[in-house]
Structure 1
């Protein structure tokens, strides 16, 4: 490895089919779009999936297995919230057919079955789990975990799959502050993973990059068509890419709050998924969960019994 080497792309060099999957629901799959476009340019086969917050019972997509639905640009769905369908429609408007595979928000056991069904259908050999934000790195004893239920469910599932390689990529340093995440604890986790050789560095998303331009276009296209629920995370990242800094707002959803748009927000942070999963203190307790409610209950039970919970620490700079 040298300064001309990207550890992330070195890990992906021998992949034949990469599944880029949103870990935490919502717009998380959008965070993987720059990587999606770059891998396609490199000749890789790439598919997109997302743990969905969409009410899939209202979507007329193709049900592939329990808890797994394929949608595309022609798929009817809820008017006010359907980011996966709108993303596929954006591709369609560009003359491309790119389906999005939607996982129902559920427990680890049924989500693993849905991932297995998708692997049987597509034949992917590598998964990149993408997180809009950085709270997937919280191991469980921090003062704030953010919104761990979906992230750690996805992490537990992908960790259990027999694959050539498994990676985690985060985008949006700082956006989890409003969910109580202490970013000193995030950086501490990065350091711990680095000590294990599991930290794969950062990659800046810059405006001149064609992959970044397409990502910005997709985010703006979908958010304009979802005015009641645009993505705070995605719009914050786009704003950071554009060079804004500080308390800059792109949606009325953030009015009344103070944002910290910053250059670190527009960087990919990449990690080995297996090492990250091993650091989570409660992941094994989720393996047999059947519902998202059960996941929440077990995380709460862990928090109520684990001691000590590490207090907030300001970044000393």
Structure 2
């Protein structure tokens, strides 16, 4: 007789026997673990990078803390809204810079520099001497690809996770409103073009936040359904306030917002994780507007990046861009070819 299987082994054996839809590779998913961690199985050097600029790198912090706890080497990057010309630091490429806790800069007190303040918190609270790679936002996808490839080569990166604070990165281009597409599209095109990294993911945090920019979230759900059929959706996972990862994320954001102008997106996400609901305002910048803070804002929505890119009909042209102006021209030109854009639909719930 063979060795008796444990309960976990029997459940995993049963999941292996479930047939996947035609054309979909499942990798034997299990309810015991979010599929994103199956996708990262065996990866030892992972880059988590904010794709839309600003505070997007903060959306990757719960993942960063979870992977660090699992003793994975994790590196941070961010498409930066900071005036990098006012910063002194090592430049791996012309349009990227290493930010550290002791980086010298001439940005005024309370000025916009979330990467620097995050490095300070990580050093002071966790003794984590982190480098955040800041990418200049005034770039096209070609130069951004080169900047990413430099980091990949330096650290032997074997997985890249783009993180979006919000969900407008999942707009395919034929929706009536795309939110703020330029930075997200540039990052998606740049990382998709990297040839020597097999595992590339997109993770969104902050469902509903982009209503402020006109994003229709029924389109986000429709696009997610398309990616389910493609086998490119890796599930949605709540960030529970009781977890260490959530607590550290909230502490990091609370510190940084005490040092500079707070982020509307990060405030909404952290409020949702804490359990706030409805027209709740912790950020003075939202006073006078109507918010809908809710539990969906505190969930990670995870995708295979190549699957998202394949749904963007203009991705090949985006990969060839060399400036923000060219990115804008590609998006505008493509949208002019879309005869009927998808109209907003109110969620029937």
Is the TM-score greater than 0.5? yes
User: In the alignment, does 2:263 pair up with 1:231?
Assistant: yes
Distance in 1 (CA, whole Å) between partners of 2:237 and 2:264 is 21
User: In the alignment, does 2:36 pair up with 1:4?
Assistant: no
Distance in 1 (CA, whole Å) between partners of 2:255 and 2:118 is 8
Task: Select 1:182's aligned residue among 191, 216, 221.
Answer: 216
Partner of 1:64: 92
Partner of 2:307: 275
**TM-score (norm. length: structure 2):** 0.88
User: In the alignment, does 2:127 pair up with 1:93?
Assistant: no
Deviation at 1:164, TM superposition (A): 2.6
Distance in 1 (CA, whole Å) between partners of 2:123 and 2:33 is 34
Deviation at 1:255, TM superposition (A): 1.6
Task: Select 2:72's aligned residue among 25, 37, 44.
Answer: 44
Distance in 1 (CA, whole Å) between partners of 2:292 and 2:177 is 18
Q: Output one character per residue of 1:217-270: Cα deviation in whole Å (capped at 9) or x when no partner.
A: 1111111100xx311111100000111111111222112211110100000000
User: In the alignment, does 2:332 pair up with 1:304?
Assistant: no
Task: Select 1:210's aligned residue among 244, 248, 263.
Answer: 244
Distance in 2 (CA, whole Å) between partners of 1:230 and 1:118 is 29
Distance in 1 (CA, whole Å) between partners of 2:316 and 2:277 is 40
Deviation at 1:173, TM superposition (A): 0.2
- Corresponding pairs, count: 315
Partner of 1:240: 272
Partner of 1:140: 173
Task: Classify the secondary structure of the residue corresponding to 1:170.
Answer: strand
User: In the alignment, does 2:291 pair up with 1:259?
Assistant: yes
Deviation at 1:58, TM superposition (A): 0.4
CA RMSD of aligned residues (A): 1.0
Distance in 2 (CA, whole Å) between partners of 1:290 and 1:50 is 18
Task: Classify the secondary structure of the residue corresponding to 1:65.
Answer: coil
Task: Classify the secondary structure of the residue corresponding to 1:271.
Answer: strand
Distance in 1 (CA, whole Å) between partners of 2:155 and 2:184 is 23
Distance in 2 (CA, whole Å) between partners of 1:165 and 1:136 is 18
Deviation at 1:5, TM superposition (A): 2.7
Distance in 1 (CA, whole Å) between partners of 2:68 and 2:52 is 24
Task: Select 2:161's aligned residue among 118, 125, 128.
Answer: 128
Structure 1 unmatched ranges of 5 or more: none
Q: Output one character per residue of 1:22-56: Cα deviation in whole Å (capped at 9) or x when no partner.
A: 00000000000000010011111100000101000
Distance in 2 (CA, whole Å) between partners of 1:277 and 1:284 is 9
Deviation at 1:116, TM superposition (A): 1.1
Q: Output one character per residue of 1:192-214: Cα deviation in whole Å (capped at 9) or x when no partner.
A: 10111111111111111001100
Deviation at 1:92, TM superposition (A): 1.3
